[in-house]
Amino acid sequence: MATGITAAAQAGTTLEIRPLKPNIGAEVYGVDLRESLEAQAIETLDHALAEHGVLVFHNQDITVEQQMAFGRRFGDLSVHPFSAHLAEHPEVIVLDYTAENPPSLTDIWHSDETFRAEPPMATMLHAEIVPELGGDTLFANMAAAYEGLSAHMKGFINGLEAVHDFKPFRTLFTQSEAHRKKLHELEDQYPHVTHPVVRIHPVSGAKVLFVNPQFTIHIKGMKADESRALLDVLFRQASIPEYQLRLEWRRHTVALWDNRLVQHYAVHDYYPQRRRMERVTIQGDRPVGPERETVAIEADGAAKPPQPEGGPWAIDRQVP
């Protein structure tokens, strides 16, 4: 795990990464996001993001322009097709929830925008206003979730593909003619996409469970009841505490997370208190999965699973 001083951040400062949990999350110190970071610091953060999944920066009183500038060090920013954004900066999503505008849609495990053919590689959230109590965000390491499956299950799902859709956002549209027309336009722009059930992380090479209950609708090549049963098993992996980080937001905390590795869940326990976040997402590429594995058959007709790969996140949860 990355600990201690790791790189020069800015003139006269050093960057330090402190892991938060054994499987996920790290706090970053020695960085002022109002200023430009050295190239070496960005490289260190990029690798730390792939290792820890979530990087937390406290006490970062930044403007949206500074947030965008930091995000662009990792790649081009994307524009969300549904969420409210700043008129002058369409890349910035504003999540401002109050008694009159209660939170919605995000209290479910998901990786951001997997309804896209090329989902964002990372998301950055800046806490502008936080409730006195509640409003945490849960994160789950989905490489750990994959490693926690049995060898039989891992062998079965490698090479499978699942269909993703922007289904939760459909509730934003009424039956009015204007809304129906807009929905049809978005369906043309964002048709169902297919992603591997298990994707290969492009930096670490880890196998990552890449299905989520917000956007994944079924597994290709399966009957509806078979698909639901398998997805239910895979969705539950995110809820295992050993794979999780619970982030308690403070004002001006910035979190940067890797959508290729983690899923998250925004806890809606703070209503009617106010919670305002500003978000940018960094463009990603098309997920790539492993080849479909063949399963050998023993003489007695039983399937012989592939040998387990283990890995740093493996947890033996087989029932005796």
Q: Which pLDDT value is given to residue 308?
A: 44
Q: Is 218 a catalytic site residue?
A: no
How far apart (Å, rounded) are the C-alpha atoms in residues 255 and 23?
Answer: 17
Percent of the chain clearing pLDDT 90 (strictly above): 73
The kind and range of the H/E element at 49 are helix 39-52
Q: Which pLDDT value is given to residue 196?
A: 99
Q: Which pLDDT value is given to residue 10?
A: 57
- Least confident range of 27-31, 118-122, 171-175: 171-175
Of the candidates 33, 187, 47, 53, the residue with the CA atom closest to the CA atom of residue 111 = 53
Q: What pLDDT band is residue 12 in, cutting at 50, 70 and 90? A: low
Question: E-assigned strands of the chain?
Answer: 5-8, 14-19, 26-29, 54-57, 93-97, 122-129, 137-141, 161-164, 193-196, 198-200, 207-209, 216-219, 244-247, 254-258, 262-266, 275-282, 296-297, 303-304
Q: Is 279 a catalytic site residue?
A: yes
Q: Is the pLDDT of residue 234 over 50?
A: yes
Q: Which pLDDT value is given to residue 36?
A: 94
Please give the structure tokens belonging to residue 9. Answer: 């951040």
At 16-73, the pLDDT tens digits run: 999 999 999 999 999 999 999 999 999 999 999 999 999 999 999 999 999 999 999 9
Q: Is 269 a catalytic site residue?
A: no
Residue 54 contacts residue 253 (beta carbons within 8 Å): no
Where are the domains positioned within the chain?
Answer: 5-304
Q: Is 264 a catalytic site residue?
A: yes
Selecting among 52, 80, 110, 275, the annotated active-site residue is 110
Q: Is the pLDDT of residue 8 over 70?
A: no
Say which residue the tokens 């990372």 belong to.
122
Selecting among 80, 126, 264, 274, the annotated active-site residue is 264
How far apart (Å, rounded) are the C-alpha atoms in residues 106 and 168?
Answer: 9
Neighbour tally for 291: CB within 10 Å: 7
CATH 3.40.50.300 fits 5-304, yes or no: no
Q: Which pLDDT value is given to residue 282?
A: 98
How far apart (Å, rounded) are the C-alpha atoms in residues 26 and 261?
Answer: 14
Say which residue the tokens 């326990």 belong to.
269
Neighbour tally for 148: CB within 10 Å: 22
Q: Which pLDDT value is given to residue 297?
A: 42
The kind and range of the H/E element at 146 are helix 142-147
Q: Is the pLDDT of residue 143 over 70?
A: yes
Residue 306 contacts residue 151 (beta carbons within 8 Å): yes
How far apart (Å, rounded) are the C-alpha atoms in residues 164 and 173?
Answer: 19
Q: What pLDDT band is residue 320 in, cutting at 50, 70 and 90? A: very low
Q: What pLDDT band is residue 317 in, cutting at 50, 70 and 90? A: very low
Tell me the pLDDT of the chain averaged across its residues.
89
- Least confident range of 89-98, 120-129, 234-243: 89-98
Q: Which pLDDT value is given to residue 104?
A: 80
Q: Is the pLDDT of residue 97 over 60?
A: yes
Of the candidates 297, 317, 247, 302, the residue with the CA atom closest to the CA atom of residue 277 = 247
Q: Which pLDDT value is given to residue 318?
A: 42
Selecting among 52, 112, 126, 274, the annotated active-site residue is 112
- Read off the pLDDT of each residue in 122-136 and give the average, rounded to a whole number: 98
Q: Which pLDDT value is given to residue 2?
A: 44
